[in-house]
Chains A and B, each alone.
Chain A
Amino acid sequence: MSWKLFGGKIEFLEHTADVYVRTYGVSVQEAFENAALAMFETITKTMKVTHAVEDEITVEAEDCYALLYNWLEALLVNSEVKGMLYSKFHIVDWVETGDSLRFTAHIWGEKFQPKKHVQKVAVKAVTYHRMVIMQENERSIKLEFILDI
């Protein structure tokens, strides 16, 4: 049994100890954006997080799996260090060269406020465990990954 959110773009699958996420997108960029939304939905209710502050991050890696890992980790680090919650993500400038992948993302959110925002659970780390990046068909990319909490 799983929980679907945001019109089925995000699914939380069963996992004994941690958070097991599946996200979809018509493009790999959109699937990555939804992965970010799923991570913050694990931490808080993203509906209550406004888009008051905009940040920008650039991520690079040697393959698509490492890129997903680096992307989520960069968001986690930004969130912890700046005390921010994010709820909107837009990936631009996706560049693939022979041995590396890179993109820039605009991310929107606001400072965590205990009275306003819901505290669910803190994410400790992103993992490679059971990570899946799959082109299901021409119009759908599926991602799966586990967050260590």
Chain B
Amino acid sequence: MSEDEGRPAPEHVPLEKITDHIWKIPQYKKDMNVSGIVFANQSLLEKMQADRTLWQCANVAQLPGIYKHAITLPDGHEGYGFPIGGVAATDYNEGVISPGGVGYDINCGVRLLSSDITEQDIRPHLPVLVETIFRNVPSGLGSRRKDLTISNSDLDRLAVDGVNFLVERGLGWKEDAEHCEEQGCMMNANPDVVSNTAKSRGLTQIGTLGSGNHFLEIQKVDKIFNLKTAKTFGITHEGQIMVMIHCGSRGYGHQVCSDYLRIMEHAVQKHKINIPDRELACAPGSSLEARNYYQAMACAVNYAFVNRQAIMHWVRQSFQQVLKRDPEKLGLQLVYDVAHNIAKIENHKIDNETKKVWVHRKGATRAFPPGHQDIPTDYRNEGQPVLIPGSMGTSSWVLVGSQKAMDLTFGSTAHGAGRIMSRSAAKRKYWGGEIRTSLEKRGITVKAASPMVLAEEADGAYKNVDTVVDVSDQVGIATKVARLVPLSVVKG
């Protein structure tokens, strides 16, 4: 295993055990403004200790204006500057905002559809359905739909309007936007602060799945843990067919992040901010650099919502083409759409006082409790749906947010499995054909633009998502609603 692990941290990071699932990184360096807090069981913690995850958490604790703790979630692993699977909240005025705390793939996220179809109904159609989806949803290098033509002004409009941009053009249903985080349209988006380079990358990639860990899966409900909440979310019985879409803002968001990391590097010097890592580059929340980044990021957030909306529309069409029934009659409803990489302005209780903060969620899912005003009205009594995808061929999860998350993690939980094996190690250990055969033996069909990705994304290369979810459930920051397992996988 050792060859697969990252380099260890350049210094020993002390840890204090609070409970079996909660660990504290004390303020062991004078530059740490707060302590770190890690949610993990022993085995997840050992993986974090093998690379720089905890050291990066301690670095994040040095950000000016950070509140309470730098947080590492159960799926935490080494990232760029910030660990992936982390949360940091900073004061709206006195704190900083950092593009690295959001990441390159802005609003990389997950969207889940429910249906009225059962496993028995779909089994005979699966091979054709997967082929149809693979044909309808562009994936892999350079692919795109010729019929989705977007002009420069369209691109700016969709970055402002979000999901409704497509709904108005017939790509989606009126109620889709309501079931997205931010109602599928983040406010304050301003395309004037997005570079032409980002726009030119975005223009050719709208409505494409991308590659790497991004995927589209036809899943079935394997087990329901919370009947009442599941029912509210439209998850009614085991064997029910679901569709999960996992992708982000493509080159548009990557370029926004890259552009603003450079701008923030200058801001760090201009505003004399002391940071331990170039990738933590940031600017004071009240500065022009911060405001521009936030407005550009909001554009990328909306771009990603639109991207997933387009893909969902083509999934609904594919079901219609194969099953010869209207998507409405098949009940292909959007359950919810969540962001995994995002910064938000939110109000949180800190020392019994409500404060306005920048919440950075990098590889983290918002997990708001019942009654919160930002949850769709039909779900508000239950809490916010939390969607956690597994790795290829493993289970994915629907959880629900809780008050505990508001108390402990600024209303957040984990976002996925998190890699434990390098791509090259995975390719040495597995090869694409073998992975395909083993998935097919378990009744899972696979379609991939690049067979090499199959080996790289083998489930053995990831932490066990079930363990990650167990920790979230036991700590109570988001609790189990339903487990989903794949029937078919489409990969970029």
Contacts and interface: CB of A to CB of B under 8 A. Distances in A.
Categorize the interface residue count of chain B: 35 or more
B456 A121 contact: yes
B258 A73 contact: yes
Interface in B443-464: 449-450, 452-453, 456
A124 B423 CA distance: 15
A14 B424 contact: yes
B4 A14 contact: yes
Nearest to B205: A80
Given A77-B255, A83-B142, A128 B279 contact: yes
A126 interface: yes
B15 interface: no
A47 interface: no
Categorize the interface residue count of chain A: 20 to 34
Given A1-B3, A80-B251, A114-B142, A127 B80 contact: yes
Contact of B6 (A15, A114, A119, A124): A15
B271 to A, nearest CB: 18
Interface string B197-211: 100110011000011
A127 B279 contact: yes
Contact of B142 (A112, A124, A128): A112
Given A83-B142, A112-B141, A17 B258 contact: no
B140 A125 contact: no
Contacts of B77: 16-17
Given A77-B255, A148-B80, A16 B5 contact: yes
B389 to A, nearest CB: 15
B300 interface: no
A66 B80 CA distance: 16
A15 B80 CA distance: 12
B358 to A, nearest CB: 22
A77 B197 contact: yes
B435 to A, nearest CB: 15
Given A16-B78, A149-B212, A80 B204 contact: yes
B425 interface: yes
Interface stretch (B27-35, B113-121, B310-318, B414-422): B414-422
B84 interface: yes
Interface in B88-113: 104-105
B376 interface: no
A19 interface: yes
Contacts of A124: 104-105, 212, 251, 254
B174 interface: no
- Counting from the closest, the 5 A-B pairs by CB-CB distance are A119-B450, A125-B104, A122-B211, A129-B80, A125-B254
